[in-house]
Structure 1
Amino acid sequence: MSFTQQLWQRNLDLYQNILALPFNQEMAQGTLSQAAFCHYIIQDAHYLEAYGRALAVCAAKAYDADEIILFTESAKVAIVVERSLHDSFMQDFNISKNEFDNTPLSLACHHYTSFLTATAWSESYPVVLAALLPCFWIYAEVGKDIVQNAAKVNPYQAWIDTYSGEEFTEAVQKVIAAVDRVAARSDADTLEKMHRAYTRGAELEWLFWESAYNSRTWPVGLNKA
């Protein structure tokens, strides 16, 4: 069993819980409320900027030129390509630039981006890779599951197509292969750190979707910086 297969098996129950979240179930059926989806789009746009920065740091720490290219290009995709998708959704769902600019990071988004940023700067390349992997891998698998259960007419079809498409799947496979290569040359302590980083990232994926469904925000009076 490869290292990434071990990661997946260790966290399989968590992945099943993510699939079962009302956000993903209702998105598949096209019944997800517009308010929940708009909350998600705004927070995901905030998240993607931080994710792109973490990918760029990951590229700087990469062991070889091919992986520098892989994660530099991934950072570009996070910022440019997916931002275009979100710009389209923001138009379609009447989210103004002013609304986006004045909506702070939710607790879940703040927690997730802080984790990725801290990990990217303070941890070794293998651990950074493991922390970044859940966003790639879990999104791809959730996208595939939604496609299999999706309603024929779905207002969220563009999101479904993006994360279940062949291009995204190929990108995910490249990242999985990179994690396995790096794991093969890592010691036992590093491998355990990678396991912990992946699990925390997967937990934060769950939290992000749960937060979006319930449109969770900061309690009144607390610092939103």
Structure 2
Amino acid sequence: MDLTAPLDTRAFSVPPFAEACLDHADDTWTAAFDHPFVHALAEGTLDADTFMFYQMQDARYLEAFADAASLLSTQCTDPDDTLWFIDAARLAIVVEGELHEGYGDELGYGPDDIRQLQLTPNNRAYQNHMIERAQRGTLVAGTAAITPCPWLYVELGQRLERDMGAIPEDHPYAEWLAMYRDPEFNEYMDNLLERLQRFADAADDAARERAKTAFTTSVRYEWMFWDQAWTQQEWPV
């Protein structure tokens, strides 16, 4: 399957600044769909130990995503925006956590194992990037930094649906594939990208450029997140 082929249409609106972020990311965005980890996951050939490595690191990543969303909520002046980011933090921990809990039961790890997990260098760097942008960056930069994670996953789910059709019942990662095909994520993306556009509109040119850089940096870390699982990355010393 050619996961690098762009979608003809997206199931959610992509405002102009989001398009500008995609243009800034350029080939990096495409590369994030073409890592061998992604292909093996889609084909169902991914080794269970590699998938477990990914899942456990991802559980800890989502804690940082929730922290970044919570920090962004404190920058908002509109109560609706504040509540949306608080809900986004909750979604990362609770809803996606249910997926991790299910695979934990299946693969043999639990909450204590996740708490004691040593973060990989790539995971640690990605988390630090998001938190730093949420703490020290503008609202548009912090929002841009957290946007690639949900966007890439939702778009990956839609590309897989286009290329592979129905998920085989015996696919070992069927639940994971099904989650990111869920139409409810389209509403999430509409809300996120609409806010990214408003925050960009309220910012100056320099802030918008920094936001595009934050977006591209997160796309690079998304590729690196696949890679840290694929190689089961360890600290060199």
TM range (shorter): over 0.9
How far does the alpha carbon of each residue in 1:43-100 deviate from its partner, in whole angstroms, 9 at most, with x for none?
A: 0001011110110011111231121111110001111111111011111112244443
What is the percentage of aligned positions where both structures have the same residue?
Answer: 27
Instruction: Number of aligned residue pairs: give it.
Output: 220
**CA positional deviation for 1:201:** 0.8
Q: Is the 8 A contact 1:127 1:194 kept in 2?
A: yes
How far does the alpha carbon of each residue in 1:108-163 deviate from its partner, in whole angstroms, 9 at most, with x for none?
A: 11011111111111112111111111112111111212233346231111111112
1:82 aligns with 2:82: no
Q: Measure, in 1, the Cα distance between the counterparts of 2:150 and 2:77.
A: 20
Q: Measure, in 2, the Cα distance between the counterparts of 1:118 and 1:180.
A: 21
Partner residue, 1:41: 55
Partner residue, 1:207: 224
1:10-49 equivalent positions in 2, closer than 5 A? 10-49=24-63
User: Per the alignment, in what secondary structure is the counterpart of residue 19 of structure 1?
Assistant: coil
**CA positional deviation for 1:31:** 0.7
**CA positional deviation for 1:32:** 0.9
Could you tell me which runs of 5 or more consecutive residues in structure 1 were left unpaired when the two chains were aligned. Answer: none
Q: Measure, in 2, the Cα distance between the counterparts of 1:101 and 1:37.
A: 18
The amino acid of 1:3's aligned partner reads: F
Correspondence for 1:178 among 195, 202, 205: 195
How far does the alpha carbon of each residue in 1:170-206 deviate from its partner, in whole angstroms, 9 at most, with x for none?
A: 1012101110111112111111111111011111111
Could you tell me which runs of 5 or more consecutive residues in structure 2 were left unpaired when the two chains were aligned. Answer: 1-14
Q: Measure, in 1, the Cα distance between the counterparts of 2:125 and 2:222.
A: 11
Considering only aligned residues, what root-mean-square deviation do their CA atoms show, in Å? Answer: 1.5
Q: Is the 8 A contact 1:143 1:160 kept in 2?
A: yes
Partner residue, 1:157: 174
Q: Measure, in 1, the Cα distance between the counterparts of 2:161 and 2:234.
A: 30
Q: Measure, in 2, the Cα distance between the counterparts of 1:97 and 1:80.
A: 13
Q: Post-superposition, which runs of at least 4 consecutive aligned residues in structure 1 deviate over 4 A?
A: none
Higher fraction of helix: 1
Q: Is the 8 A contact 1:28 1:149 kept in 2?
A: no
1:61 aligns with 2:78: no
Q: Measure, in 2, the Cα distance between the counterparts of 1:132 and 1:11.
A: 14
Partner residue, 2:9: none
Instruction: Provide the TM-score with structure 2 as the length reference.
Output: 0.88
Q: Is the 8 A contact 1:28 1:147 kept in 2?
A: no
Q: Measure, in 2, the Cα distance between the counterparts of 1:208 and 1:35.
A: 16
Q: Is the 8 A contact 1:51 1:113 kept in 2?
A: yes
Partner residue, 1:3: 17
Instruction: Provide the TM-score with structure 1 as the length reference.
Output: 0.92
